[in-house]
Every structure is written in structure tokens, then in C-alpha cells.
């Protein structure tokens, strides 16, 4: 069975609306998913690059799960990418560890989905805002599989909407 590594980068997971539920659901299937919480493992920000690279290599797929912070990823995730995706490992003439590896994103946004449109308040879609990460994966030769999103986390979503999203997330993960 193929196994997916889920890198969770949420600096305030205890206050999370949806990321916490996504994690709880994924952890019910340890044979399919390894949940790796960066802020729990590296509270001091000192990343063990070799350990992280070995963790990626021991899984078939990679998903980065995080909340949008100022329309980007949280700082520890950016640091993780900068330090772990090294020349000779992730890219370069001998950097093949991400080649053809299925990679995806799971993003939660406090803002409502309709605000993420070219003609809307913030002028950009989530897909456009995630394009630097997509480009990073493509540069490393990974098989980028798109993103999954939850919108409106700061607008007190209904419990039924949260649970429906959790089920949709599992389907997304199963279809990587």
C-alpha cells in the first residue's frame, strides 16, 4: 500500500478550526498516512534536514498542510522547504529524490472562497497564490497534484460544513 507523508505547518494548532480535524481524521488511518507536525517537532526552529529527507524518502506521496498566513505559508514551512529541498537531493544534476513523487497541498483560509477571485476583493485566486509552491515542486521534478482547500475558517463555519470538508479531504488524499 502506498503511504502519504503529511507535513503539517500550523503554528497555533490548538486554535485551529479545520486543520485539527483533518489531522484527527488522518490519524485514524496510520497504514495510509504519517502526520508530521513541524511546530511540534521543531519548536525552536532547528530542523534536522537529514531526518526530514529520510522521512520523505520513506513515503510515496507528500502533502503540505497549512493555514494561509498573510496569503502565504507559515514561516516554519518556508524554512523547512529552504533547508530540506537541497541541491543534490531535491534538484540539480543528482537531485532526484522528489522526481515523479506525487505532491499536493492542503490549505485552510480564514477568508471566504468568493473573495479569492480576480474580480473580487483580493484580486487573486488561491491557485495563483499557491503558484510559487507549485513551481517549486515542478522545478524538483515532482508530480504536483493540485490543492485542497477549506475556506471561511474565521466565519464560524457550521459543524456539518466542517465534517463534509473532512470527508472531501479524505477523498482528495485517496485520489493522489
Q: What is the pLDDT of residues 28-54, one digit of tens each?
A: 999 999 999 999 999 999 999 999 999
Q: In the structure grid, which three cell numbers stand for residue 75, read together?
A: 514561516
Q: What is the pLDDT of residues 56-115, one digit of tens each?
A: 999 999 999 999 988 999 999 999 999 999 999 999 999 999 999 999 999 999 999 999
pLDDT at 110: 93
Which candidate, 107, 119, 106, 116, places its Cα nearest to that of 172? 106
148: confidence class by pLDDT, cuts 50, 70, 90? very high
H helix runs in 36-158, sequence order: 38-41, 49-57, 75-84, 126-129, 131-139
Q: Where are the domains of the chain?
A: 4-174
Left (φ > 0), alpha (ψ -120 to 50) or beta: where does 149 sit? Answer: beta
Under CATH, to which class is 4-174 assigned?
A: alpha beta
Amino acid at each position: 500500500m502506498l503511504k502519504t507523508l503529511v507535513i503539517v505547518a500550523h503554528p497555533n494548532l490548538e486554535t485551529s478550526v479545520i486543520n485539527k480535524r483533518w489531522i484527527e481524521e488522518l490519524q485514524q488511518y496510520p497504514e495510509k498516512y504519517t502526520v508530521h507536525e513541524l511546530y511540534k517537532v521543531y519548536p525552536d526552529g532547528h530542523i534536522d534536514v537529514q531526518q526530514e529527507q529520510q522521512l520523505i524518502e520513506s513515503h510515496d506521496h507528500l502533502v503540505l498542510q497549512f493555514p494561509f498566513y498573510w496569503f502565504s505559508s507559515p514561516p516554519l514551512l518556508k524554512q523547512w522547504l529552504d533547508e530540506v529541498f537541497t541541491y543534490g537531493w531535491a534538484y540539480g544534476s543528482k537531485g532526484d529524490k522528489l522526481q515523479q513523487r506525487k505532491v499536493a497541498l492542503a490549505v485552510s483560509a480564514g477568508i471566504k472562497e468568493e473573495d479569492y477571485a480576480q474580480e473580487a476583493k483580493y484580486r487573486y485566486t488561491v491557485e495563483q497564490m499557491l503558484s510559487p509552491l507549485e513551481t517549486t515542486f515542478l522545478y524538483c521534478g515532482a508530480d504536483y497534484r493540485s490543492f485542497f482547500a477549506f475556506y471561511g475558517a474565521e466565519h464560524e463555519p457550521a459543524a456539518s460544513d466542517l465534517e463534509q470538508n473532512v470527508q472531501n479531504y479524505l477523498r482528495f488524499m485517496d485520489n493522489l
